[in-house]
Amino acid sequence: MISVPDPDVVFTDLGLAALGTYFAWRLWREGDGWLRRGAIMMLGLASAALWGAMFHAFFPANTATTAGFLVWLCVAFSIAVVAESLLDMALAIFFARFAPGVRPGVRRAIVFGYCVLFACIILFVDESFTTVTRLYAPAVLLMLFAAQYQASRTGNSTWMLISGGLGLSMLAALLQQARIAIHPVYFDHNALYHVVQAAALVLLYFGFRARRADSPVRGW
């Protein structure tokens, strides 16, 4: 009989992975550049959840083993993909509004530099989830600010769905870091994090779909 450590964490991770993959597929098949950026973000979250399920199920020693460390890197780098997508979208919104003459290559260079910094810190400084969250947070906050700006500028309430999704994602990370749980054994802080993150994905999905006919960046 196979015993799975932390089944609440593993199964909520798998559910989050399935939800993120489904949303990514829907956004990609419907999509232009804006929707496909959202699809990449969803797929990054799904990948992080899938690798996270494997990490919690098969590596009770966490990163103390080489295999566990490598699987954890897959989690961290998947989150880096999410952060890269959010940063790219936020910069595209602000550049289109305030610096329309800036070439897309400048935006891509900034995003690339951020990704290199993210990877170097994870590889050579600290790979903990706390550090991953701190590296991820600026991209989420910038995109949250961009979505709020678009909502106030256009008066379109669908931007509030994206804002709500990003806000819930940040709340999920804060709950995880504060180790707030429904039950310390049967539904711990990681499982709660996954459930709140799933709610965030639902809001983000409908927010991105609502913007499909009105991309904030033409010709992206």
SS3 assignment, position 155: coil
The whole-number pLDDT of residue 4 equals: 64
Burial class (CB in 10 A: 0-12, 13-18, 19+), 207: buried
Rounded distance, CA 209 to CA 201, Å?
12
Question: What's the distance, Cα to Cα, between the start and end of the chain in Å?
Answer: 52
Q: Is the pLDDT reported for residue 217 higher than 70?
A: no
Structure pTM? 0.90
Outline where 59-127 has alpha helix (H): 66-98, 104-124
What's the rounded mean pLDDT across residues 79-96? 94
SS3 content of the chain, % helix, strand, coil (to 5): 80, 0, 20
Whole-angstrom Cα distance, residue 180 to residue 191?
10
Averaged confidence pLDDT in the chain: 90
Domains of the chain: 7-210 (1.20.1070)
Which of the four pLDDT bands, split at 50, 70 and 90, describes residue 155? confident
Please report the pLDDT score of residue 54 as a whole number. 95
Q: 61-65, 89-93, 166-170, 214-218: lowest mean pLDDT where?
A: 214-218
Q: Which helix (H) or strand (E) holds 23?
A: helix 7-29
Q: How far is CA 172 from CA 2, 104, 187, in A?
A: 30, 32, 14
- Rounded distance between C-alpha atoms, residue 88 and residue 93, angstroms: 9
List beta partners, residue 143.
Answer: none
Q: Is the pLDDT of residue 220 over 50?
A: no
pLDDT of 1 above 50 = no
Give the residues across from 187 on adjacent strands. 183
For residue 37, pLDDT over 50 is answered with yes
